């Protein structure tokens, strides 16, 4: 028959702590909530109490029969059934151990097979790597001459591109220097016929004027900007009226009714409007006639508050009175 020590898995040498640990492990497995039964838990509690008291070597049936009444036979049968269940659990435990050992051996064999397969694959990859290296070396030898030719071709292309860039840059520089350069010519009189676009009349008008390419009429420098004023050309008694812009350029009208643009080269760009015709140089001014277009007529200055000539803003303030004064002086009726 089974003793309480056998039922609990302890012996006389076990300490109280060890007995409690055995009880805790079995109670976790045999609890009804964990798949056990109520009868198993009752038997486990009785075995624990007897082992704690020091009665672990007594037979389970003896203790139970002494404590039970007339129904002891039924309880004894229950104990027998519990013992059988315990034996079944032990058999299942042994079977589980065997299954674990079998699975471990099978896993080890599978691991060995996997290692062998990996070794074979690694050897194949090493062979392929060697072949690729040989191919790369052969390709490098075959393409060495073509690489040298490509380098030479690249150098020629780069040289041609640089030559084109230098040529274009030199042309731009030459054009700018020639455009800004002061021109000195022999004084000549050249008749020029220009088609003038009049705002009111649609018929083309022919205007003839003389450009003095050497000695330009020198205007008087004014400090006031945005106001038309009456002046004389330096060293002469020839009158004119003029207005100064913020950048130091001038619009000049003479007795012939011709408008001229004195461009201050210190502030203006090299871009010149199409209706400005170069005439001469005066100190740091480039003198342009305005035969047509914006700023070329008396009517435009009378009807506009300001006009933009080659990106310079010129006001018409005082223009009307100055123009009337210039007309009187030019007709010798009233002096300045």
For 26-77, the pLDDT digits (tens) are 888 888 887 778 888 888 899 899 889 888 888 877 765 555 454 566 767 7
The answer to whether 199 and 187 are in contact (CB under 8 A) is no
Mean pLDDT of the chain: 78
Higher-pLDDT residue of 179 and 174 is 174
Spatial distance between the Cα atoms of 285 and 262, rounded to a whole number of angstroms: 6
**The length of the chain, given as a count of residues:** 336
* Domain match, 81 and 207 both: no
Backbone angles phi, psi at 234, to 5 degrees: -60, 130
CB atoms within 10 A of CB 2: 16
Q: Is residue 19 part of a domain?
A: yes
| Three-class SS state of 279 | strand
The closest of 324, 318, 314 to 250, measured between CA atoms, is 314
Q: Is residue 322 part of a domain?
A: yes
Total domains in the fold of the chain: 2
Residue 320's alpha-carbon distances to 159, 242, 313, 315, in angstroms, are 63, 12, 18, 12
CB atoms within 10 A of CB 256: 9
| Lowest-pLDDT range of 45-59, 179-193, 267-281 | 179-193
Q: Is residue 172 part of a domain?
A: no
CB atoms within 10 A of CB 259: 19
Q: Is residue 121 part of a domain?
A: no
State pTM to two decimals.
Answer: 0.38
- Asked whether residue 316 carries a pLDDT value surpassing 50, the answer given is yes
Domain containing residue 87: 4-113
The answer to whether 245 and 225 are in contact (CB under 8 A) is yes
The closest of 321, 298, 309 to 229, measured between CA atoms, is 321
Q: Is residue 23 part of a domain?
A: yes
Spatial distance between the Cα atoms of 279 and 179, rounded to a whole number of angstroms: 13
């Amino acid at each position: 028959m089974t003793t309480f020590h056998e039922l609990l898995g302890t012996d006389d040498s076990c300490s109280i702590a060890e007995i409690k640990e055995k009880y805790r492990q079995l109670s976790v497995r045999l609890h009804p909530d964990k798949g056990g039964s109520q009868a198993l838990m009752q038997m486990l509690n009785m075995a624990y109490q007897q082992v704690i008291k020091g009665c672990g070597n007594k037979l389970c049936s003896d203790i139970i029969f002494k404590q039970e009444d007339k129904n002891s036979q039924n309880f004894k049968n229950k104990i027998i059934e519990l013992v059988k269940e315990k034996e079944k659990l032990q058999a299942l435990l042994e079977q589980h151990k065997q299954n674990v050992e079998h699975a471990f051996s099978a896993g080890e064999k599978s691991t060995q097979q996997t290692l062998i397969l990996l070794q074979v694959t690694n050897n194949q990859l090493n062979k392929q790597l060697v072949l690729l290296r040989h191919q790369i070396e052969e390709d490098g030898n075959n393409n060495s001459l073509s690489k040298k030719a490509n380098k030479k071709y690249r150098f020629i292309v780069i040289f041609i591109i640089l030559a084109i860039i230098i040529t274009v840059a030199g042309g731009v520089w030459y054009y700018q220097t020639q455009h800004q350069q002061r021109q000195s010519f022999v004084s000549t009189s050249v008749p020029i016929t220009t088609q003038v676009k009049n705002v009111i009349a649609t018929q083309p008008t022919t205007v003839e004027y003389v450009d003095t390419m050497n000695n330009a009429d020198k205007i008087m420098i004014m400090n006031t900007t945005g106001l038309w004023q009456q002046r004389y050309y330096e060293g002469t008694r020839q009158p004119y009226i003029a207005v100064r812009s913020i950048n130091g350029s001038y619009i000049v009208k003479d007795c012939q009714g011709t408008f001229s643009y004195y461009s201050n080269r210190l502030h203006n760009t090299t871009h010149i409007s199409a209706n400005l015709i170069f005439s001469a140089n005066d100190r740091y001014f480039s003198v342009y006639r305005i035969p047509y277009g914006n700023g070329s007529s008396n009517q435009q200055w009378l009807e506009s508050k300001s006009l933009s000539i080659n990106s310079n803003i010129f006001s018409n303030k005082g223009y009307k009175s100055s123009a009337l004064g210039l007309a009187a002086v030019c007709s010798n009726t009233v002096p300045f």
